[in-house]
């Protein structure tokens, strides 16, 4: 074998490659399938995260469902309203303005507030800790603090605070609900962005027990219910709940009335 | 007579799937129902026959005269990839349901080792042009035979009471093994 075979090799493969690619490009013209051009446009407008929050396998499947009329643009909880209205325009639909939902962590039991129950040396996930004795923190209802929600978030919108409590970035959060599914204690919920008043506790134990495990537990004293005349808060099964139908967007209750400070204003009023 | 011998040898005695264990991916993946299995077999047969034809031409008319035999794998892969693209476009154009049914396994014919294996065996056995084509067609027919038999068995298995640990992939592998044993019986045929 001499050096010229290198050149022969290059030329041969080049020519072969060219011939085949030319053949294929002709074939792709001849055999092209007329796909609905709207599908590609819609795929571009969808977020492309393939998170599956709409219930379809991915953004491409969602786009096909949109074009065939099986889905509505509002089924995608992730895309911003600007892109959704563009999609609706392509499909010739009236867009219904839907309020953005964000995840809210309904617990304040970080390592400062929540008592420590035991040393936990098992698998470092909330799910595992929840299954074997509930992890190191004392409250059986609150945050375990191993960040399953953070790992579940496809948008990097949840971070762990210094004291071990997940914090939602309300601007980045798209409301896809992955963290809600991931949390074994169900302390993360999706709420419309206009809601700002929350009872940040899920503990339904009796007041004494609740208070003994966490400084910021709801002790179902009922002061919130009395202060609002029953129109805004209700204590049900040892836990205060906000009645968002009656509660207006403006907070009427001074949150400092709550003795354990578990009624909190989350986010800034007026954010969208 | 010689051609018939080559055909039977490639299709039955040295069946690619059940004797050489090449191309198991589509064999397991598309053998749930008989319909798609037949289509997959036909698509593979087409690609195999075309591959045998084109690679024979390329090998004997281009690579051998230029003393570039060492390029055989590269150029064969090029041929196979292009042919599979062609088949994919064709299937998509002709039948969208079939395209959906074959799914990922259609482009995966590209990486189906049975097809590259076919091209390399053909060179190794020094067939002439006609023999090469028959060899490719026989291999495809053998693949079709194997995948259709497998699909038939699996549709029957749907109704069978398979023990819990063997469900799914387990029973499929056991079935494939039994089939391969059965095909060993053809070894004395030629």
Contact indicator for B4, B189 with CB cutoff of 8 Å: no
Question: pLDDT tens digit string along A178-187?
Answer: 899 899 999 9
Q: Could A28 and B89 be called an inter-chain contact, meaning their C-beta atoms sit closer than 8 Å?
A: yes
Question: Smallest CA–CA separation between A90 and chain B, in Å?
Answer: 25
Question: Interface pTM (ipTM) of the complex?
Answer: 0.71
Q: Could A31 and B68 be called an inter-chain contact, meaning their C-beta atoms sit closer than 8 Å?
A: no
Q: Could A12 and B86 be called an inter-chain contact, meaning their C-beta atoms sit closer than 8 Å?
A: no
Interface membership of A8 toward B (CB under 8 Å): yes
Contact indicator for A45, A87 with CB cutoff of 8 Å: yes
pLDDT at A172: 87
Q: How far apart are alpha carbons B30 and B17 in whole angstroms?
A: 13
Chain A residues in contact with B96 by the CB 8 A cut-off are 33
Chain A residues in contact with B62 by the CB 8 A cut-off are 12, 16
Question: pLDDT tens digit string along A158-167?
Answer: 999 988 899 9
> Could you count the other beta carbons within 10 Å of the beta carbon of residue A158?
23
Q: Is the dihedral of CA B99, A48, A105, A73 positive or negative?
A: negative
According to DSSP, residue B9 is labeled I
| Angle, vertex CA B60, rays to CA B73 and CA B134, nearest 5 | 85
For B66, nearest residue in chain A (alpha carbons): A8
For B84, nearest residue in chain A (alpha carbons): A24
Question: pLDDT tens digit string along B88-107?
Answer: 888 888 877 777 777 677 77
Q: Could A13 and B74 be called an inter-chain contact, meaning their C-beta atoms sit closer than 8 Å?
A: yes
pLDDT at B185: 86
Q: Is the dihedral of CA A32, A35, A41, A44 positive or negative?
A: negative
Question: pLDDT tens digit string along B53-89?
Answer: 999 998 998 888 888 888 888 888 888 888 888 888 8
Question: pLDDT tens digit string along A65-124?
Answer: 888 878 877 778 778 778 888 888 888 776 666 678 899 999 998 888 888 888 888 889
Residue to test with chain B: of A8, A23, A30, A32, most B Cβ within 10 A: A8
pLDDT at B151: 92
Chain B residues in contact with A31 by the CB 8 A cut-off are 89-90, 92-93
Contact indicator for A224, A240 with CB cutoff of 8 Å: yes
pLDDT band for position A222 (cuts 50, 70, 90): confident
Q: What six digits make up the tokens of A174?
A: 């798209």
Percent of chain B with pLDDT over 70: 98
pLDDT at A158: 92
Question: pLDDT tens digit string along A124-151?
Answer: 999 999 988 888 899 999 999 999 999 9
| B16 φ/ψ angles, rounded to the nearest 5 degrees | -60, -40
Chain B residues in contact with A21 by the CB 8 A cut-off are 82
Interface membership of B95 toward A (CB under 8 Å): no
pLDDT at A253: 60
pLDDT at A250: 54
Q: What six digits make up the tokens of A23?
A: 């053949």
pLDDT band for position A177 (cuts 50, 70, 90): confident
Interface membership of A19 toward B (CB under 8 Å): no
pLDDT at A160: 92
Please determine, for residue A248, whether its predicted confidence score (pLDDT) is greater than 90.
no
Contact indicator for B56, B137 with CB cutoff of 8 Å: no
| B60 φ/ψ angles, rounded to the nearest 5 degrees | -85, -25
Nearest neighbour of A27 by CB, restricted to B58, B78, B89: B89
Interface membership of B75 toward A (CB under 8 Å): yes
Residue with tokens 């064999």: B27
- Where do you find CATH 3.30.70.20 in chain A? 101-265
Chain B residues in contact with A33 by the CB 8 A cut-off are 92-93, 96
CATH 1.10.3720.10 fits A37-91, yes or no: no
Question: For every one of its 190 residues, what pLDDT tens digit does chain B have, with 9 covering 90 and above?
Answer: 788 888 988 888 888 888 888 888 888 888 888 888 888 888 888 889 988 999 999 899 888 888 888 888 888 888 888 888 888 888 888 877 777 777 677 777 877 888 889 989 988 888 889 999 999 999 999 999 999 999 999 998 888 888 888 887 888 889 999 999 988 888 877 6
Q: How far apart are alpha carbons A85 and A92 in whole angstroms?
A: 10
Q: Could A5 and B89 be called an inter-chain contact, meaning their C-beta atoms sit closer than 8 Å?
A: no
Class of domain A101-265: alpha beta
pLDDT at A188: 93
Q: What six digits make up the tokens of B42?
A: 């036909």
Please determine, for residue A251, whether its predicted confidence score (pLDDT) is greater than 60.
no
Question: pLDDT tens digit string along A14-67?
Answer: 998 999 899 989 988 887 777 778 888 888 888 877 777 777 767 877 888 888
Q: What six digits make up the tokens of B86?
A: 């062609």
Interface membership of B93 toward A (CB under 8 Å): yes
Q: Could B71 and A12 be called an inter-chain contact, meaning their C-beta atoms sit closer than 8 Å?
A: yes
Q: How far apart are alpha carbons A143 and A185 in whole angstroms?
A: 7
Of residues A3 and A212, which shows the higher confidence score? A212
> Could you count the other beta carbons within 10 Å of the beta carbon of residue A76?
28
Q: What six digits make up the tokens of A199?
A: 């009872």
- Where do you find CATH 1.10.15.40 in chain A? 37-91
């Amino acid at each position: 074998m001499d050096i010229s075979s290198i050149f022969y090799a290059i030329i041969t493969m080049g020519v072969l490659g060219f011939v085949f690619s030319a053949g294929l490009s002709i074939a792709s013209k001849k055999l092209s399938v007329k796909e609905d051009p709207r599908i590609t446009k819609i795929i571009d407008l969808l977020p492309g995260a393939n998170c599956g929050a709409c219930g379809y396998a991915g953004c491409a499947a969602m786009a096909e469902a949109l074009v065939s009329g099986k889905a509505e643009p509002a089924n995608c909880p992730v895309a911003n309203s600007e892109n959704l209205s563009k999609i609706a325009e392509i499909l010739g639909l009236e867009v219904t303005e839907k309020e953005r939902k964000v995840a809210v962590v309904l617990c304040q039991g970080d390592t400062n507030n929540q008592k420590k129950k035991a040393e936990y040396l098992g698998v470092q996930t909330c799910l595992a800790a929840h299954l074997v004795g509930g992890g190191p923190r004392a409250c059986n209802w609150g945050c375990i603090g191993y960040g399953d929600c953070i790992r579940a978030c496809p948008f990097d919108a949840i971070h762990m605070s210094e004291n071990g409590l997940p914090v939602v970035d309300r601007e980045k959060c798209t409301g896809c609900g992955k963290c809600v599914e991931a949390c074994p204690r169900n302390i993360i919920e999706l709420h419309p962005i206009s809601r700002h008043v929350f009872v940040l506790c899920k503990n339904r134990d009796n007041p004494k027990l609740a208070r003994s495990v966490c400084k910021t537990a709801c002790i179902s004293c009922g002061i919130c219910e009395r202060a609002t005349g029953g129109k805004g808060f209700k204590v049900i099964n040892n836990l205060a709940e906000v009645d968002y139908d009656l509660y207006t967007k403006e907070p009427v209750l001074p949150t400092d009335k709550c003795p354990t400070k578990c009624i909190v204003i989350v986010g800034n009023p007026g954010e969208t | 007579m010689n051609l018939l011998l080559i055909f039977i040898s490639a299709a039955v005695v040295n069946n690619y799937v059940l004797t050489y264990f090449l191309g198991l991916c589509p064999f397991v993946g598309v053998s749930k129902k008989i319909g798609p299995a037949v289509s997959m077999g036909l698509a593979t047969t087409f690609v195999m026959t075309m591959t045998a034809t084109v690679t024979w031409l390329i090998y004997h008319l281009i690579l051998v005269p230029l003393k570039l035999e060492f390029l055989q794998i590269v150029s064969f892969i090029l041929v196979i990839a292009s042919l599979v693209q062609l088949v994919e476009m064709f299937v998509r154009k002709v039948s969208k349901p079939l395209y959906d049914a074959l799914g990922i396994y259609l482009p995966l014919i590209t990486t189906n080792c049975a097809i590259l294996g076919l091209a390399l065996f053909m060179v190794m056995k020094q067939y002439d042009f006609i023999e090469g084509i028959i060899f490719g067609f026989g291999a495809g027919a053998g693949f079709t035979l194997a995948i259709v038999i497998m699909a038939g068995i699996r549709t029957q298995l749907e109704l069978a009471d398979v023990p819990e640990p063997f469900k799914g992939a387990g029973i499929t592998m056991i079935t494939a093994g039994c089939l391969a044993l059965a095909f060993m019986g053809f070894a004395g045929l030629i």
